[in-house]
Amino acid sequence: MSALPGADEHQVVRALGSIGAATLASRVLGFARDMLIALTFGAGGVTDAFVVAFRIPNMLRRLLGEGALSTAVVPVFTDYLVDRPRGDFVRMVRAVLAAALLVLSVVTVCGIVAAPGILRVIAPGFTSEPAQAALTVLLTRVMFPYLFLVGLGALAMGLLNTHGRFFAAALGPALLNVGIIAAVLLLAGHVEPPVLAVAIGVLVGGVAQLLAQAPSLRRLRLLVPPSLDLRHPALGRVARLLLPSVFGLAAAQVTLFVNTLLASLLPAGSLSFLYYADRVMEFPLGIFGIALASASLPAMSRAAARGDRRGLGTTLTFSLGLSFYVAVPATVGLVALRAPIVRVLFERGEFTAADTTATAQALVGYAVGLAAFSGARIAAQAFYALQEPGVAVKLGFISVVVNVIAAVALMEPLRHAGLALASSIGAWVNFAALVWVARRGFGDVDLRQLAASLGRTALASAALGAICLACLWLWPPAPSRLREAAWLGGTVVAGTLVFWIASAILRAPERLALLHLRPRRRRETLGEV
C-alpha cells in the first residue's frame, strides 16, 4: 500500500489533521471535565444519576442528531453541490433546515414530558431508590434541550464537511466540555442539588457548539432562513438515508441500553465505573477512529457520486489501515497501563483506590475492542456514501444480538467488566461482517493488504508493550500523584517513540501517511479548505 494512493486519500488525511486536532482538544478537556466530576461527586449514586440522565438525551442525539443526521445529509449535500446550480443547493438547505427544526422540537418536548417513563425502561434498578430516581428525572428534563441544540449543530456540520471545512464543527465537543467545567466550578456551590450544575453546563456547551459554526457558515453564505417546503425532493432522499442510519446507530445504542439496564442491577457505582472507563477508551477512539470516519465520508461520497466503487474501496482500505496503525498500539498501552492511567486521571477526592481498580477492570474490557469500534465505524461509512445503508443496519443488529448474549453471560462472573467485554465482542463481530460484505461489493477492498498492515502494526505494538511492562516493573512504590503522572507521561512517550521506530524499521506505509497530517497552509488548519 502506498502511503497516499490518490487524491481522495490526500483529502482524507488533510481532513483528519483538522478533525484530529479539534478532537484532541475536546478529549483533553473531556478528561479535565471528568476529573472535576470525579473530584466533586465521586463514583456513587449521584454520579450514576447524571450518567443515566445524560445518556438518555445523548442516545437520542446520536440517533436523530449528530450521528445519523450528519451521515444522512452529507451524501445528499454532496450531490447537490456537485451537480446542481447554487440556487437549487440553497433552496435544498432551507427545506432541510425547516424539517430538522420541526422534528427536533417535537422529540425534545416529548422527551421532557416522558422522562419518568424513559427512566423506568433504561434503568429499572433505580426504581427501588425514589430519591435517586427523582434526581435522574430532574437532570434528564434539564438536559433534554441539548438534543435540539446538537441536532442543529449536526446539520451545520454536514454543510461544512461537504464544503471540505472540518475544524469548526469538530471543535464543538470541546466547547461542550468547557461549558460543563465552567458550570461545575461556578455553580456547584450555588444550586441544589449541586450536580444540577453539570446539567446546566451541558446546555451552555450545546449553545456554544452551535454558535461556533456560525462564522464559517456566514462565509459560505449559508446562514439562511428555514423554508417549510415539505415537498422538496431532497427531504425524501435525506429521510431514506436517515431512517436506516437511525436504525444502524440504534444497534450501538441498544448495546448501550442493555449495558445501562444490566449495570443498574449491579452494585452502586457500576455505571460510573463503565462511564469513566469508556471516557478513557474514547480518547484514542475519538481522536483518530471517529475522526477518521468523519474525514473519510466526504471522500467516499465523492467517489460514489462519480460511480467509482473501486476508488471507494481503495479509500476504505487505506482508512482501515490507518485506523489499525493507531488502534492496535493504543489497545496495548491501555491494557498494560490501565491502573496508572485511571489512578492519575481520577483517583482524588471522592474517587477511591477501590474505584480505580474497578474502573481499570472495565477499561480492559473496552480496550480489547478499540480496533473494532474504530474499524466498524469507518467501514459503515462506505455504505452510507453509496446511499445503501441497509447493509450496515442489518449487520449492526446481528452484532447487537451477539452483544446482548455476551452481556447476559458475562455479567455474573465478571460483573461490570463483563459488560464492557461484551461490547467489544459485539464490535468485533460487526467489524468482521462489514469488511466481508464490503469486499464482495467493492472491487478493491484488499484483505491481504489489510492483513499485512495489521501484522506490521502488531509487531511494532509488541515493542511498545515491552517498554510498558519494563516501566511498570521499574515503577516507583507509592509515588505522589504528580510524580506518578510524570512517570506515566514518560512511559507513554517512550512507548510511542519505540513504536514509531519499529514501524519505520518494518517500513509501515501508514507512518508516512501520518506525516501528511500537518496541513500545508494555515487556512487548512482552520478548516478553510
Residue 529 and residue 527: Cα distance in Å, rounded? Answer: 6
CA atoms within 13 A on the CB side of 67: 23
Q: Would you say residue 20 lies in a domain?
A: no
| Alpha carbon distance 517, 525 (integer Å) | 10
At residue 526 the predicted structure's pLDDT band, cuts being 50, 70 and 90, is very low
What DSSP state is assigned to residue 515? G
Rg (C-alpha) for the chain, rounded Å, is 22
pLDDT of residue 249: 61
Cis peptide before 193 (omega within 30 of 0): yes
**For residue 429, is it within any domain?**
no
More confident position, 244 or 409: 409
Cβ neighbourhood burial of 398 (10 Å; 0-12, 13-18, 19+): middle
Query: What cell numbers appear for 91 in the block?
Result: 433552496
Q: How many domains does the chain have?
A: 1
Sort 309 into a burial class: Cβ within 10 Å, 0-12 / 13-18 / 19+: middle
| 181 or 517, which is more confident | 181
Alpha helices (H) in 368-480, listed in sequence order? 370-385, 390-414, 416-441, 447-473
Asked whether the beta carbons of 102 and 127 are under 8 A apart, the reply is: no
pLDDT greater than 80 at residue 47: no
Spatial separation of the C-alpha atoms in residues 319 and 324, rounded to whole Å: 9
Amino acid at 210: L
Nearest Cα residue to 115 out of 137, 132, 134: 137
Rounded CA separation 311/36 (Å): 46
* Residue 189 neighbours by CB under 8 Å, 6+ apart: none
Please tell me which residue, 123 or 465, carries the higher pLDDT value.
465
Q: Which of 146, 198, 191 shows the shortest CA–CA distance to 172?
A: 146
Query: Average pLDDT in the 504-514 region?
Result: 82
Q: pLDDT digits over 267-319, tens only?
A: 777 888 888 888 888 778 777 777 777 777 777 777 777 777 777 778 888 88
Asked whether residue 198 is assigned to any structural domain, the reply reads yes
Least confident residue range of 223-237, 275-289, 317-331, 514-528: 514-528
Task: Give 356-388 as a DSSP string.
Answer: HHHHHHHHHHHHTTHHHHHHHHHHHHHHHHTT-
What's the CA gap between 332 and 352, in Å, rounded?
25
Q: Does a structural domain hold residue 426? A: no
Percent of the chain with pLDDT over 70: 87
Q: List the grid coordinates of 259.
A: 449495558
Kindly report, residue by residue over 312-324, the tens digit of the pLDDT: 778 888 888 888 9
Interior angle at CA 18, CA 13 and CA 23, nearest 5: 115
- 356-401 pLDDT tens trace: 899 999 999 999 999 998 888 888 888 877 777 777 778 888 888 8
253: its cell numbers: 445504542
More confident residue, 157 or 311: 157
Query: Predicted confidence band at 119 (pLDDT cuts at 50, 70, 90)?
Result: confident
- Going by C-alpha positions, the residue among 503, 476, 28, 460 that lies closest to residue 286 is 28
Rounded Cα distance, 356 and 276, in Å: 10
Task: Confirm whether 513 is domain-assigned.
Answer: no
Q: Which residue segment(s) compose the domain that 104 sits in?
A: 45-239
Which pLDDT score, from 0 to 100, does residue 162 have?
81
| Mean pLDDT (the chain, rounded) | 81
Q: What residue type is assigned to position 283 of the chain?
A: F
Handedness of CA 95, 232, 386, 100 (dihedral sign): positive
Please name which of 246, 312, 238 lies closest in space to residue 72, comparing C-alpha atoms.
238
Residue 333: pLDDT band (50, 70, 90) is very high
- Residue with grid cell 516493573, as numbered in its chain: 473
Express each pLDDT in 240-265 by its tens digit.
777 766 666 666 667 767 777 788 78
pLDDT band at 421 (very low <50, low <70, confident <90, very high): very high
Out of 72-81, 181-190, 249-258, 480-489, which region has the weakest mean confidence (pLDDT)?
249-258
Provide the pLDDT confidence category of residue 3 given band limits of 50, 70 and 90.
very low
Would residue 268 be called left, alpha or beta, if left means φ above 0 and alpha means ψ between -120 and 50 degrees? beta
HSE-CB for 70 with a 13 A CA cutoff: 26
pLDDT at 201: 92
Range name among 52-56, 147-151, 316-320 with the lowest pLDDT average: 52-56
Region label for 107, one of left (φ > 0), alpha (ψ between -120 and 50) or beta (otherwise)? alpha
| Cell 461527586, located at residue | 41
In a domain, 165, yes or no: yes
DSSP 3-state of 193: coil
- Where are the alpha helices (H) located in 42-171, listed in sequence order? 45-64, 66-83, 86-113, 115-122, 130-143, 145-162, 167-170
Quote the pLDDT of residue 60. 60
The pLDDT value recorded for residue 246 is: 66
The values of phi and psi at residue 350, to 5°, are: -80, -5
The three three-digit cell numbers of residue 18, written as one number? 483538522
How does residue 105 score in pLDDT terms, banded at 50, 70 and 90? very high
Q: Residue 64: pLDDT band by 50, 70, 90 thresholds?
A: low
Interatomic CA distance for residues 86 and 84, integer angstroms: 7
pLDDT surpasses 50 at 525:
no
The per-residue pLDDT for 500 is: 92
